[in-house]
Chains A and B, each alone.
Chain A
Amino acid sequence: MFLKVWALANNTFKEGIRRRILYVFLIASVAIILSSHFFNFLAPSEELKITLDMGLASILFFGALIAIFSCGELIPREIERQTIATILSKPVKRSEFLLGKFLGGVLLVFLNFLLMSVVFLFLVYFKEKFISLNLIKALILTFWELVVLSSIAICLSTLSSTPAFNVTVTFSIYVVGHLTDYLIHIARQTENLFVSLFILIIYTILPNFNNFNLRDKVVEGFFIPNLEVVKVSLYGLVYAVIMLGLSHFFFKDKEF
């Protein structure tokens, strides 16, 4: 099974790196990270903050675009080119196909994320002659956020074969996922038990992307416990597994 999944992932990855749009995102991201260096003279007291804010935000934002565009189109493209029928006519299970596509997409996201992170860390080291462990932890969780986003994109692409729909909805979920945190206030303030329960269910179902946000803590210099990073990573892993489970649920009986 593993070999089949790996072959599919490898193939997806190779196909993905040929797409020019991803290079555009990568170049834009690197340009913004490097340009943060030139903003510093405007606010000398906030030099490091601006570099960290701009660097981490660019990695997240462009990483998210790469994840959405690469993973959201993986399955619709196979359907459009009718290659999916050829693949599934071979002794490849649908679950293996999904997993292979997902891993290939994540590998592509990881490569881009790695390149952006290296440029960013180089810039921070160039300025500070030091890279804090907090920064590495923030980057690890940013990557998990991108994995979750990739899994959502894959899940949506099993529902709809229109790439534009997948990209739009995944991007909307990405934006809403940064505000899920505030639902907990609404749930606690509501006196009606059923409404409160309903909000808690929505709160659990929607991804909480703020969990992955250590960016503010890094900038503010707070201590970040290792266990916190482990638990958030676990949250990311479980969410991605759920999304893959749902993808399998929708994809299992789909006809092509």
Chain B
Amino acid sequence: MLLRIPAKIPLSITIIVLFFILFFLQNQILSYRGLPPKLVIKPGEFAILVALGGLRGVAADLLYLKADEFWQQGKWKEMLSLYRAITILQPRYVDYWSLAGFHLAWSLPFTAKTAEEKQKYIQQGIDFFKEGISYNPDVYKLYFDLAFIYDHKFSQYDEAIKWYKKAAEFPDHIPYIDRAVAHCLRKKGDFKGAYEEWQRLKKLYPEDKDYQEIVALNLKIVEEELKKSGKRQ
């Protein structure tokens, strides 16, 4: 006697198997995307993200327009709180981090009344860039922005070199970053290191005349400084 299997059983088994395939595919897709940004946000902000669904890009654009308006009116604090919201909405859009960090580290210190306040803004800019890097570790721009602050605002050249070098690891980085490392070495007084760095850079773009001119000029400056420091010693 043949056992009659209810028609729904094979269908149920097929659906379960398909869910396993779906789980496998989901893991495959995650390998391309990486884990989603781990957002440290308040419940209210999370509710906004839920409500927006797939329209976060548009919301970020509209807030950006408003932030731009605040910038033109000189309403810095209002502008920055909007940038905070914008980076929550689109944490993977590097330009927003870059622009907001720039305003914190470069624009706001001009409005500061005391040196302490000025330093506070610059430090906030640094923290902002570091947060941006945690969401976008695969883009050179924010490493460069961070190094630039350490270089020109704090004169902390070791820290600047560290971040410039990280930015230089990306193949699409701008050539200036290579030169910035050499400049920092010279500024911190390591003329020998700077000389070796410029020698290394000389070999990078042999056919670029402008580039070679810049390198030659800097090599000459560093050579002279090396001689002077040698005489002093």
Does any Cβ of A come within 8 Å of B221's Cβ?
no
Task: Give B54 Cβ to nearest chain A Cβ, in Å.
Answer: 5
Does any Cβ of A come within 8 Å of B55's Cβ?
yes
Distance in angstroms between the alpha carbons of A176 and B46 in the assembled complex: 12
Q: Choose, from A11-19, A55-63, A70-78, A116-124, the stretch at the interface.
A: A55-63
Do A204 and B19 touch across chains, with their CB atoms under 8 A apart? yes
Distance in angstroms between the alpha carbons of A220 and B95 in the assembled complex: 9
Task: Give A230 Cβ to nearest chain B Cβ, in Å.
Answer: 10
Do B29 and A228 touch across chains, with their CB atoms under 8 A apart? yes
Do A175 and B53 touch across chains, with their CB atoms under 8 A apart? yes
Given A53-B57, A57-B57, A211-B29, are A249 and B21 also a contact pair (CB < 8 Å)?
no
Given A57-B58, A174-B53, are A185 and B36 also a contact pair (CB < 8 Å)?
yes
Do A213 and B54 touch across chains, with their CB atoms under 8 A apart? yes
Contacts of B25 in A (CB 8 A): 231, 234-235, 238
Contacts of B19 in A (CB 8 A): 204-205, 242
Task: Pick the contact of B8: A176, A179, A216, A252 (CB < 8 A).
Answer: A252
Do A56 and B49 touch across chains, with their CB atoms under 8 A apart? no
Does any Cβ of A come within 8 Å of B90's Cβ?
yes
Interface 1/0 per residue, A213-256 and B, CB below 8 Å: 10110011000010010011011001101100110110010000
Task: Pick the contact of A181: B12, B23, B36, B51 (CB < 8 A).
Answer: B36
Does any Cβ of B come within 8 Å of A194's Cβ?
no
Does any Cβ of A come within 8 Å of B108's Cβ?
no
Task: Pick the contact of A43: B12, B15, B18, B65 (CB < 8 A).
Answer: B65
- Chain B interface (Cβ within 8 Å of chain A)? 7-8, 11-12, 14-15, 18-19, 21-23, 25-26, 28-30, 32-33, 35-36, 38-39, 49-51, 53-55, 57-58, 60-61, 64-65, 68, 90, 92-95
Distance in angstroms between the alpha carbons of A210 and B30 in the assembled complex: 11
Distance in angstroms between the alpha carbons of A182 and B30 in the assembled complex: 12
Contacts of A125 in B (CB 8 A): none
Distance in angstroms between the alpha carbons of A220 and B90 in the assembled complex: 10
Task: Give A202 Cβ to nearest chain B Cβ, in Å.
Answer: 12
Within 8 A of B (CB), among A20-54: 39, 42-43, 46, 49-50, 53-54
Given A210-B36, A225-B32, are A204 and B64 also a contact pair (CB < 8 Å)?
no
Do B68 and A249 touch across chains, with their CB atoms under 8 A apart? no
Contacts of B32 in A (CB 8 A): 225, 228, 231
Distance in angstroms between the alpha carbons of A64 and B60 in the assembled complex: 21
Contacts of A150 in B (CB 8 A): none
Do B50 and A56 touch across chains, with their CB atoms under 8 A apart? no
Do A220 and B93 touch across chains, with their CB atoms under 8 A apart? yes
Task: Pick the contact of B15: A179, A211, A249 (CB < 8 A).
Answer: A249
| 26 residue pairs A–B, Cβ–Cβ below 8 Å | A43-B61, A43-B65, A46-B61, A49-B61, A49-B93, A60-B55, A64-B54, A175-B51, A175-B53, A178-B53, A178-B54, A179-B50, A185-B36, A203-B26, A205-B19, A208-B26, A209-B54, A210-B33, A216-B57, A216-B93, A220-B93, A231-B28, A231-B32, A232-B29, A245-B18, A249-B11
